[in-house]
């Protein structure tokens, strides 16, 4: 017994889902702050602006620093 499969018709246009800005805003702020923290550690965590003493953080992000074009030595 063959089952009938409904085929989509060209008369029903695709409608994008509506996503209110108030639902996206907390996540956008969270990821924005996270990206700024990561940018700080990759781009500025050494020397006078160092939050942590020593070169531990610098060594952890050393390759990312070069990949993103930040000078470090």
d(C-alpha 56, C-alpha 42), whole Å: 12
The answer to the question of residue 1 being in a domain is no
25 dihedral zone (left: phi>0; alpha: psi -120 to 50; beta): alpha
pLDDT tens column, 39-49: 887 777 776 66
Report yes or no on 47 lying in a domain: yes
Nearest CA to 47 out of 27, 21, 73 is that of 73
Q: Is the pLDDT of residue 26 over 80?
A: yes
Q: Is residue 5 part of a domain?
A: no
Identify the domain containing residue 54 by its residue range. Answer: 42-73
pLDDT of residue 9: 64
Mean pLDDT of the chain: 80
DSSP class of 9: P
Domain count, the chain: 1
Indicate whether this model's pTM tops 0.85.
Answer: no
39 vs 6, residue with greater confidence: 39
Is residue 62 in a domain?
yes
């Amino acid at each position: 017994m063959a089952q009938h499969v409904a085929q989509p018709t060209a008369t029903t246009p695709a409608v994008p889902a509506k996503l209110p800005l108030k639902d996206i805003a907390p996540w956008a702020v969270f990821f924005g702050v996270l990206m700024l923290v990561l940018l700080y550690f990759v781009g500025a965590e050494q020397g006078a602006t160092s939050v942590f003493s020593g070169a531990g953080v610098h060594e952890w992000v050393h390759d990312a620093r070069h990949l993103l074009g930040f000078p470090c030595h």
